[in-house]
A and B are shown apart, each in its own frame.
Chain A
Amino acid sequence: MTKEKLYLILKRLISSLLILFLVITLVFILIRISPGDPSLKYISPKLSPELAQEVRKSFNIDEPIFFQYINFLKNIFTGNFGISYEYRMPVLKVISEFMPVTLMLALFSIIIQLLIGYYVALISIRRKDGFIDKLFKKSSIILYVTPGFVLGLILVFLFAVQLDSLPSSGFKSIYYDDLSFIGKIKDIASHLILPLLTLSLPGAALFFNYFRDGIEDIMNKDFVLYLKASGFSDKIILRKHILPNSLKPILSVAGIELGFLLSGTLVTEVIFSLPGMGRLMIASILSRDFPMVIACAFISALFIILSNFIFDLIKVKIDRRIWKEILS
């Protein structure tokens, strides 16, 4: 049994590695066949030809493409993504500076999404077919289709412009360093409220629908009636029997959602000018900082695969019968 499990996990690992390899190859090919020379930006006409050649060499673009590719793969296997053209620092170091914001946003956001979705669904089910239920259903669809940038700007307009109660951009205040420890946390929290709402509300609406349909579906099953007849309290039935049974589709969606959040919440970071992965990626694409682009693509794909895998493991933990089909 465990051997088979291990085999399946190994198989999945290999296919994940293959996908990662394909992603970076695709990005590499796209970059190399694109017109334009990234080194031109850093070579002034006054520079002597020898020095210009030196710069080109430091960018690894003076060799034939095939050798470039081999070198590039070698470097990646040793964990060396090269040096960023724009920052003149190792790429991974730059990424490690931008990562915390994205990690924080993604983790908080997925938790908020699941919690809001779950509790609102419970409220909605308790008042089934009542006014509140209908209201939640309708507004959840509207929230779900609202694009991130519209929602974000409306929130900024309401809370930052009209009420003037929350900051509209940035991650820290200017006077951040003078604050006490609690003040620092408060400062970051007040900066993160609007981005988190922007990120979470559409997802929360999605999870609300999944939770509502799932829980309602399971509630009408015979075994729930039997449990009720046996005298279990509603709370225990909900927590121990209904919830785990309705969780399967939700966890797959959550895995995809977390992956997308971790790979950079592009539009939200642009609106609130947060220093996160999405903005780093777009800035590096626009400034043709190619080692950075490849590293960002690699890390995004890695996170998506990882988060899918983690949520699949949670699924297996909840329902042991289905591990075979999930892991394969």
Chain B
Amino acid sequence: MKKFNKIKLWHFVLFVWVILLIFRFDLLIQTAELFWLTVILIFKDFDFLYSHISFQLIDSLFALAVMLLIPSLLLSSKFRNKFLRAEINFSRCFIVLLVYSFFVPTLITREHPDYQKNISEIKLLSPLSNIYQIQLSTKDSPTSDSIEEKFLLLKEKILLKEFDDNKIFVRSYSLKQNSYHFNSDGGSTDLSIDKVKSIKSELVLLGTDEFGRDIFSRLIFGARISIFIGMMAVVISLLLGLILGYIASTGNVIINTVLNRLTDLFLSFPSIFLVILVLALFGNNLLSVIVVLGFSGWMSLYKIVSSEVASVKQKDFFITAQKIGLSDSELLVKEIIPVIIIPVTVNLVFQFSNVILAESSLSFLGLGSGSEYPSWGAMIEKGQEYIYEAWWMIFIPGIVLVLTLLSFHNIAKEVNKFFNPKIS
């Protein structure tokens, strides 16, 4: 019975899913409607759809797909048992949360990461402070039944907005003689009561930054960028390491020595300097950061692959397989890859956390993926300026970054232990 008492990781995944479903049920229904309209429009009026398609739209539809996919994946016991059978612990849960914020950030937060709400009032608010959202009444546009109109209306509702004319955010307001009185844009403003549709109180969960942007939202979207950069860079170093390592183990002596010298060269020099040099000389943007970080991490993989492949080739089972008459590609798939996949996986997880660390350091130094994407390192760098007024601007992204690195460190250790039980 004891086996059934323990909480597994997939319970946590389901738990987060249910919470998201409860809080964003309306939104998901609307997204489904939008999806249906999109499908209709594909056949009816493709040019119109094409002119309105954007990354955000695809992202919202993708979030819906992910939300539908998660329960169906969890239902198949094979998948559940293979990946999510592990017992629950802090680092695994944190990584689940990170994966969620990678796939469905628009469901977790409903604030655009770049939405500057009323700079003079809402900037540098501490966590858990209250603000008021004044919704201005708008003229009801005549609702038409055409699909295009419906599509645009729904799209307006679902996508996160970078700016909204009909909303005013204030810290406090007062009601005087049929008009609302509040501070806005450096001065005080009066707004007659019939212009206002509704006033809602809002909680700023993790505070706001120097432009009045929501830190929670920036954290979630920053996680997405960090994970994206990490994955892409790791894929690049994986490919480089595998290919070069395999070449070194099969090729002739000259190639081998050249490659070994090159690894020595890169290992004998702090790679962060080369990364900074390249980024500063050739310009930094998302793509160049990914490529440079990917290229700076292939050395350890190369060393592992070349030494492992060389040692496999002297083992009896490999020689037997060779004598039986397996072709080169068969040997690679059946004999070599199963052996090298273990150390490579362990290395990849470490590499991933290294890339996340390097990316945030680069952003901290102002050489990251640019200001159009929210990034943890850049948030901390901005927080340095406001260290006297706003501690949360350093601590919140800093703690999230440390927890991320810690989780990946622990996961890498667990993977290592799983594959090599002898290592304590």
Binding site for B on A (CB under 8 A): 15, 18-19, 22-23, 26-27, 30-31, 34-36, 141-142, 144-150, 153-154, 156-157, 161, 260, 263-264, 266-267, 270-271, 281-282, 285-286, 288, 293, 297, 300-301, 304-305
Contact = CB atoms under 8 A, between A and B. Distances in A.
A35 to B, nearest CB: 7
A305 B401 contact: no
B95 to A, nearest CB: 14
B387 A153 contact: yes
Interface stretch (B47-55, B224-232, B390-398): B390-398
B402 A23 contact: no
B274 to A, nearest CB: 8
A27 B277 contact: yes
B383 interface: yes
B405 interface: yes
A281 B282 contact: no
B277 A150 contact: no
A17 to B, nearest CB: 12
Contact of B273 (A263, A286, A305): A263
Contact of A23 (B265, B281, B380): B265
Given A145-B405, A154-B395, A281 B270 contact: no
A214 B68 CA distance: 51
User: Is chain B's interface secondary structure helix, strand, loop, or mixed overall?
Assistant: helix
A142 B402 contact: yes
Nearest to B272: A266
B380 A149 contact: yes
Given A141-B409, A149-B364, A305-B268, A22 B280 contact: no
Interface in B4-33: none
Interface residues of B, number: 38
A57 B380 CA distance: 43
B265 A26 contact: yes
Contacts of B395: 154, 157
B157 interface: no
B388 A161 contact: yes
A22 B259 CA distance: 13
Contacts of B265: 19, 22-23, 26
Contacts of A267: 361, 364-365
B19 to A, nearest CB: 28
Contacts of A286: 280
A145 B277 contact: no
Interface string B259-280: 0010011001110111011101
Interface of B: 261, 264-265, 268-270, 272-274, 276-278, 280-282, 353, 357, 360-361, 364-365, 377, 380-381, 383-384, 387-388, 391, 394-395, 398, 401-402, 405-406, 409-410
A147 B354 CA distance: 10
B376 to A, nearest CB: 10
A54 to B, nearest CB: 25
Max count, chain B CB within 10 A of own CB: residue among A148, A150, A266: A150
B377 to A, nearest CB: 8
18 contacts: A15-B264, A18-B261, A19-B261, A19-B268, A31-B281, A34-B281, A35-B282, A145-B409, A149-B381, A153-B387, A154-B394, A157-B387, A267-B364, A267-B365, A288-B281, A300-B273, A304-B268, A304-B269
Given A19-B264, A150-B398, A304-B268, A34 B282 contact: yes
B110 to A, nearest CB: 28
A231 to B, nearest CB: 32
B398 A153 contact: yes
Contacts of B388: 161
Contacts of B401: 147, 150
B357 A30 contact: no
Given A281-B273, A282-B365, 8 more contacts: A15-B264, A19-B261, A23-B268, A141-B410, A145-B402, A146-B405, A271-B384, A285-B277
A147 B355 CA distance: 12
A260 B270 CA distance: 7
A36 B410 CA distance: 44
A147 B406 CA distance: 11
Nearest first, the 5 closest Cβ-Cβ pairs linking A and B are A34-B281, A150-B398, A145-B405, A285-B280, A22-B265
B53 to A, nearest CB: 34
A140 B137 CA distance: 56
A297 B268 contact: no
Contacts of B264: 15, 19
Nearest to A35: B282
B308 to A, nearest CB: 21
Nearest to B358: A147
A280 to B, nearest CB: 12
B264 to A, nearest CB: 6
Contacts of A30: 274, 277-278, 281
Contacts of B280: 285-286
Max count, chain B CB within 10 A of own CB: residue among A30, A31, A285: A285
A22 B265 CA distance: 7
Nearest to A32: B281
Max count, chain A CB within 10 A of own CB: residue among B270, B272, B353, B402: B270
A150 B270 CA distance: 20
Contacts of B360: 147
A281 B377 CA distance: 20
A212 to B, nearest CB: 12
Nearest to A31: B281
Max count, chain A CB within 10 A of own CB: residue among B278, B387, B410: B387
B281 to A, nearest CB: 4
B277 A22 contact: no
A179 B396 CA distance: 40
Contacts of B353: 145
A148 B401 CA distance: 12
Nearest to A301: B269
Contacts of B381: 149
Contacts of B261: 18-19, 22
A271 B398 CA distance: 14
Contacts of A18: 261
A263 B270 CA distance: 8
